[in-house]
Amino acid sequence: MAKDIRRIDARSLRGLAHPLRMTILEILQLDGPATSTTLSARLGESTGTISWHLRLLAEHGYIEEDVERGTKRERWWQVVHRQTILNQADFVDDPETKGSLQLYLRQLVQQYFERVQNFVDEDWDGEWQHASEISDWRDLRLTKTQLRALNAELGEVINRHLTAEPDEEALPIVVQIQSFPRRKTQ
């Protein structure tokens, strides 16, 4: 299963920056191990296409074969890393990765949007609706240092809840935090 934190470098960014590979990785991260056949049915792609993308994800170290589940005829795939971190600043002076970085970030934002949209479209009971939140704060004014500190504190809060032992009523929860500066408009 998940082993550690992975920092994305230029090579692995180019290997990941494809909408289908990012979708496959997200499914494996959110729903657990799967075969190319189950992913193919879910995504409406051929098993050959899915298998090719799975092998690329494995080549770049994002996933691995789950040998305990697999058979000679059926290969199961699982994520290797609990968390993947991309520091955009690592690629500021690298024009060769600019296209991959933009594609990756745009696809990531699309995935975030789709997660929220799915929640809004689903029929949740009142208690889950009251427990959930979709909010934003627009009146913050922070320096770069303060923004980094805010993000670190939010991450610490989330990490405290990751170690909690879930009870039988617990459902998988997605927390999306998007914090970024906004240019003033005239």
Whether residue 124 lies inside any domain: the answer is no
Q: Could you tell me which residues come within 8 angstroms of residue 4 by beta carbon, excluding any fewer than 6 positions away? A: 81, 82
Domain with 7, as residue range(s), is 1-104
pLDDT tens-digit map of 55-76: 999 999 999 999 888 777 889 9
**CA 33 to CA 64: how far, in whole Å?**
10
CB of 76 closer than 8 Å to CB of 70? yes
- What pLDDT shows up at residue 2? 44
Whether residue 14 lies inside any domain: the answer is yes
Whether residue 123 lies inside any domain: the answer is no
pLDDT tens-digit map of 132-144: 999 998 889 999 9
For the chain, the domain total comes to 1
Whether residue 167 lies inside any domain: the answer is no
pLDDT tens-digit map of 106-142: 999 999 999 999 999 999 999 999 999 999 988 899 9
Under the banding of pLDDT at 50, 70 and 90, the label for residue 1 is very low
Whether residue 170 lies inside any domain: the answer is no
Whether residue 95 lies inside any domain: the answer is yes
Whether residue 111 lies inside any domain: the answer is no
Rounded to two decimals, the pTM is 0.82
Number of H helices, E strands in the chain: 7, 5
- What pLDDT shows up at residue 81? 79
**CA 29 to CA 97: how far, in whole Å?**
25
- 94 pLDDT more than 50: yes
Whether residue 85 lies inside any domain: the answer is yes
Task: Supply the mean pLDDT for the chain.
Answer: 90
- What pLDDT shows up at residue 186? 67
Q: Could you tell me which residues come within 8 angstroms of residue 21 by beta carbon, excluding any fewer than 6 positions away? A: 15, 53, 56, 57
CATH number at residue 98: 1.10.10.10
Residue 137 CA from chain centroid, whole number: 23
- What pLDDT shows up at residue 3? 55
